[in-house]
Amino acid sequence: MQEKGMIHIYTGDGKGKTTAAIGLAIRAAGHGKRIFFVQFLKGRETGELEILKKIPNITVHRVNPDLQKFFYQLSMEEKEILCRKVQEGWRGICKELREEKYDILILDEIMAVLSNGLLGLEDLLEFINNKVPQLELVLTGRNAPEELLKLADYVTEMKMLKHPYQEGVPARKGIEF
């Protein structure tokens, strides 16, 4: 087990936050580290999850695997259901991490969970303050709160300068998902 688990944040409006977290997971698995990769607010089939599931030492968990829309496309009723699923999923994640089974926890799209009010920042801060000290923590998503930026050891901002989506090009299989 490593000495002190640090906190990484991949944020910003550019492409690559999840990709960076996955790269770190693959690198760590190559050195025998145990990774718990948790993904929020993504339900569509993605290439990265299929390959991650095949890598020893990486456990993949999707909190809401049936989600097929972006949050802003959901009705109020769908948002309420999603909120309950996220909070239930969060409790399960916290329970899973009471044991020292993992070296790294990746919370993909946790910033979107926070900014959409599906989980309170205080819940995440409480988790961070009470986590196993050796657990490395990776947080991804746009609009990272200032409180998290201050706590983090690494902060990387992905800045979009140009993206095909701006020209109407839809997400492409194998590139964006």
pLDDT of residue 112: 94
Rounded Cα gap, residues 125 and 75, in angstroms: 29
Predicted model pTM: 0.88
Query: From CA 171, how far away is CA 169, in angstroms rounded?
Result: 7
Closest among 123, 116, 134 to 2, alpha carbons compared: 134
Tell me, what's the pLDDT at 2? 54
pLDDT bin (cut points 50, 70, 90) of residue 163 is confident
Q: What is the pLDDT of residue 121?
A: 97
Residue type, 20: A
Predicted confidence (pLDDT) per residue in 97-151, tens digit:
887 799 999 999 999 999 999 999 999 999 999 999 999 999 999 999 999 999 9
Calpha distance 150→126 (Å, rounded): 15
Token pair 């999850």 is found at: 49
Query: Tell me, what DSSP letter sits at residue 72?
Result: G
Residue 111's contacts (CB-CB under 8 Å, 6 or more residues apart) are 11, 139, 140, 141, 142, 143, 144, 145
Please, what is the average pLDDT of the chain? 90
DSSP H helices, the chain, are 17-30, 47-52, 76-96, 110-115, 121-130, 146-151
- Return the higher-pLDDT residue of 48 and 100: 48
Tell which CATH classification among 3.10.20.740, 1.20.1440.60, 3.40.50.80, 3.40.50.300 matches the domain 7-157: 3.40.50.300
More confident residue, 58 or 43: 58
Tokens standing for residue 19: 């990709």
Q: Name the residue ranges covered by the structural domains of the chain.
A: 7-157
pLDDT at 1 over 60: no
- Read off the tokens for 157: 């901002």
**pLDDT > 70 in the chain, percent:** 98
User: Residue 72: CB partners within 8 Å, gap ≥ 6?
Assistant: none
